[in-house]
């Protein structure tokens, strides 16, 4: 389960963030830094933003599986197909 207190996030019984409504963030504009991929960006030298997002999404998928959360929380990686491949 996610340690919500550690990140300042309330957590539902299933381990998902309490701010998720369906699979959408209900506090997107005011979300904490831990939820802001662009703020937590630790990409490797030469890695594109698109590749960073894909790798981060795959890591999230592994955590969803590890914690046996609903598959609906997974983001379809093909959503990044239209993203520019810039650094």
- What pLDDT digit, counting tens, does each position of 39-48 carry? 666 667 888 8
Can you say how many angstroms the Cα of residue 9 is from the centroid of all Cα atoms in its chain? 13
Residue 2, pLDDT > 60, answer no
Percent of the chain with pLDDT over 70: 80
Can you say how many angstroms the Cα of residue 46 is from the centroid of all Cα atoms in its chain? 22
- Residue among 82, 59, 76, 62 nearest 23 (CA): 76
Beta strands in the chain (DSSP E): 20-21, 24-25
Residue 18, pLDDT > 60, answer yes
pLDDT of residue 43: 66
């Amino acid at each position: 389960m996610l340690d919500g207190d550690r990140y300042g996030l309330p957590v539902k019984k299933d381990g998902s963030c309490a701010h998720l409504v369906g699979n959408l963030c209900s506090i997107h504009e005011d979300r904490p830094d831990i939820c802001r991929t662009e703020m937590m960006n630790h990409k490797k030298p030469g890695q594109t933003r698109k590749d960073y997002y894909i790798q981060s999404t795959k890591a999230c998928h592994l955590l969803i599986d590890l914690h046996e959360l609903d598959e609906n929380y997974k983001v379809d990686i093909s959503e990044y197909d239209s993203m520019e491949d810039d650094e």
